Amino acid sequence: MLQTLQRSVRELGLPQRPLRDLIEANRRDQRVTRYATFDELLGYCALSANPVGRLVLHAFGAATPARARLSDLICSALQLIEHVQDVAEDHARGRIYLPGADLTRFGCTEEDLAAPSARGNLRALVAFECERAERLLDLGVPLIRTLPWRQALAVAAYVAGGRAALAAIRRAGYDVLAHRPVPGRAGFARALLATWRRR
């Protein structure tokens, strides 16, 4: 796998920094299991998610500082959405990606995350985190307009996946403990069409 990656790095001229950041994110996952604030969590996203978008831009031959900033917003949003979807799974593994300050603000304890279904305070917290992620996603959408149509469609699909996941979480009443809310194909298709029209 690494030999194949090495060829891709050479052929596409991929920078090393995003790849090193992804390695650091993996190391952090082995050391850090809680994040005190939203800013700390965004710092983790800068290592675990944003490098992926930057590598995609380089693979497209479309990397610029302005596009990288917009890509970071989209990638952080997608990571935050995944964290919300995976609250139960992450907690079972001893990890919590909901900021500690937000847990306190909404009166949630770690015991609440182990319940079979989410109580009202946790649902309110999940709704709050979803709104945050959606705002970041919306701020990053202008990236789509700056790319040739095939690349734009690929990025629109990433955005649509995030929006469809948010819609699935809302349909579940923000209960991410009873089951993991995931969008179906129809939901994704609707989100992709809406994202493409709004780009």
Per-residue pLDDT tens digits for 120-170 = 999 999 999 999 999 999 999 999 999 999 999 999 999 999 999 999 999
Mean pLDDT to the nearest integer, 107-118: 96
Per-residue pLDDT tens digits for 67-77 = 999 999 999 99
Write down the mean pLDDT value for the chain: 95
The CATH code belonging to domain 11-198 is 1.10.600.10
Question: pLDDT > 70: what percent of the chain?
Answer: 99
Q: What DSSP string describes 25-87?
A: HHHHHHH----SSHHHHHHHHHHHTHHHHHHHHHHHT---HHHHHHHHHHHHHHHHHHHHHTH
pTM of the model: 0.93
Task: Give, in order, the Cα–Cα distances in Å from 100 to each of 77, 103, 115, 118, 128.
Answer: 18, 5, 18, 17, 14
Mean pLDDT to the nearest integer, 57-79: 97
